[in-house]
Structure 1
Amino acid sequence: MARRSLAPLAPPPSLALAAAVVALAFCFHPASAQSAWLDEFRTDGEVRSDFDASGKQVASLVLDENSGAGFNSTEKYLFGEFSVEMKLVPGNSAGTVTSFYLTSGEGDDHDEIDLEFMGNSSGAPTVLNTNVWASGDGKKEHQFYLWFDPSADFHKYTIIWNAKNIIFRVDDVTVRAFRRYADLPYPDARPMAVHATLWDGSYWATEKGKVPIDWAAAPFVVSYRGYIANACVAHGGGGRTSCPAGRNEWMDRELDDTDRLTVAWARRNCLQYNYCEDGWRFPEGFPGECSRE
């Protein structure tokens, strides 16, 4: 795919207005629901916890030459809406990878839904990598240049996962949807935990591994706050779940007219890699869903 313009981008006013209306609705969530959300997670590596001036808990992951860091939920879920505000590594973050994702585990047949942020050289745009794995079948990346500096302030990132589709959102603007087709793999049976990580991806992250981490700039820090999971909790291995009553609009959530506009805008202005256009990667033919988008 041709390289997109690197000039700063902003959503059209109509899209920004729609996002602002949705964001306003989220402001009315009780503060107590977010007060100590990190208690729902196990931590690994150096994870700092504090509260900001508004009372939101902030969890910061630290990466240095010795170790990365992360946290993962004590619960597993089967469908839901998951969102968090993130402030990425400032300055030269080349070689680092920051993530917010769901996964059923590490096995060859695992399911996974990814939001990954690939570090950049100072001044270059940040790449958001979205991906879906189903029964070990992955390689379904759409990568977008973000239209803002994600290290300058917190921005909200959301995954909506139900039996019909997976929706990826940035600041309440939908940038991608991965639809379910009955005859193709889809993550609908394995409960998944929520993970966040910061790690050394020098071999892959920046310009396909051409620019490694500059450890002279370490430690690298990324911060998370405002985590919300509105989801069905899985109990044991028998397929039993308990789902929230009331605010469960995500269960049947599909793209509406505004979503379709924002997805088209993101494809036109921000998309810099689409696996359905990578013939070198799929010499024997593209995955089945590519011809149905």
Structure 2
Amino acid sequence: MCSENGAGPERDELDFEFLGNRTGQPYLIQTNVYKNGAGNREMRHMLWFDPTEDYHSYSILWNNHQIVVPIRVFKNNGDDKNDFFPNEKPMYLFSSIWNADDWATRGGLEKTDWKKAPFVSSYKDFSVEGCQWEDPYPACVSTTTKNWWDQYEAWHLSDSQKMDYAWVQRNLVIYDYCKDYERFPKLPGECSLSPWD
């Protein structure tokens, strides 16, 4: 998802990327969060299923309190611990296939086999529940509880969602920027936020 200026230098963006795999190995997904053109909030997960076998449903809940992709939670607690939360620009949805074989699949060890082109992704049953951006400030980031995603129940994970999320964290995470002390000797502020709150 990109800002009103498209994929310009000041974009806000959520990435949900299939990184590919070596034949017979699990597929990987990388998620990333950008605000004003800055990212570096990557997480990588192993998938417990083969996404190429059939259509699968993927959902994103994005309100002013949290971004939830079923395998990741990115919290906004409304103070200076997370000044990185993207909630100030209108958003669009983009989908593409792009060549990232210099870094994505096994750190760039697996190269794209161009003999298998053309590469195709297809979608069905796409739906969006959202609000229309209105200048100067969008009503959809208020806490009016007008929409289901802006009611208290959507601000936090339920108890069963917390259990599922804990299982994902224990079993499927292979990279989390909040645990990369070599890259971030001082971790970004949001790393101290708990997805359980």
Same fold (TM over 0.5): yes
SS of the equivalent of 2:161 reads helix
Q: 1:217 to 1:266 in 2, by over 3 A?
A: same
CA contact 1:135–1:186 (8 Å) conserved in 2: no
Which of 238, 248, 254 is the matching residue for 2:136? 238
Match of 1:118 in 2: 19
- State how far apart, in whole Å, the 2-side matches of 1:199 and 1:145 are: 20
Corresponding position: 1:273 with 2:175: yes
In structure 2, give the amino acid aligned to 1:278: D
Residue 44 of structure 2 corresponds to 143
State how far apart, in whole Å, the 2-side matches of 1:164 and 1:247 are. 15
Which structure has the bigger radius of gyration?
1
1:75-154 mapped onto 2 (5 Å cutoff): 102-104=1-3, 105-154=6-55
Is 2:63 aligned against 1:162? Answer: yes
| Superposed CA offset, 1:176-197 (max 9, x none) | 2100032122111100101111
1:17-36 to 2 correspondence within 5 Å?
none
Distance 2:138 2:72 in 1: 29
Measured in 1, the distance between the counterparts of 2:58 and 2:112 equals: 25
Cα separation, 2, equivalents of 1:250 and 1:161: 8
Deviation at 1:242, TM superposition (A): 7.6
Which secondary structure state, in structure 2, belongs to the residue aligned with residue 200 of structure 1? coil
Question: Cα RMSD between the aligned structures?
Answer: 2.0
Aligned to 1:214, which of 107, 113, 118?
Answer: 113
What's the secondary structure of 2:111's corresponding residue?
coil
The code of the aligned residue for 2:76 comes to: R
Match of 2:73 in 1: 177
For residue 281 of structure 1, what is the amino acid of its counterpart? R
**Number of matched residues?**
183
| SS of residue paired to 2:132 | strand
- Structure 1 residue runs of 4+, over 6 Å off? none
With normalisation by structure 1, the TM-score equals 0.58
- In structure 2, the residue matched to 1:83 is none
SS at match of 1:118: strand
Deviations 1:152-191 (A, max 9, x none): 011111111101000002xxxxx22100032122111100
Aligned counterpart, 2:103: 204
Q: How far apart are 1:108 and its partner, in Å?
A: 3.0
Work out the CA distance in 2 between the residues paired with 1:270 and 1:213.
Answer: 25
Q: In 2, Cα distance between the equivalents of 1:144 and 1:278?
A: 15
Q: What SS does the aligned partner of 1:264 have? A: helix
Q: 1:229 to 1:111 in 2, by over 3 A?
A: same
1:258 aligns with 2:160: yes
Higher relative contact order (CA 8 A, sep 6+): 1
CA distance in 2 between partners of 1:132 and 1:200 (Å): 20
What is the percentage of aligned positions where both structures have the same residue? 38
Q: Any stretches of 5+ residues in structure 2 without a counterpart?
A: none
Q: Give the 3-state SS of the residue equivalent to 1:207 in structure 2.
A: helix
TM-score by length of 2: 0.85
Q: 1:186 aligns with which of 68, 85, 104?
A: 85
Question: Whose strand proportion is higher, 1 or 2?
Answer: 1
CA contact (8 A) 1:230 1:248 kept: no
| 3-state SS, counterpart of residue 117 of structure 1 | strand
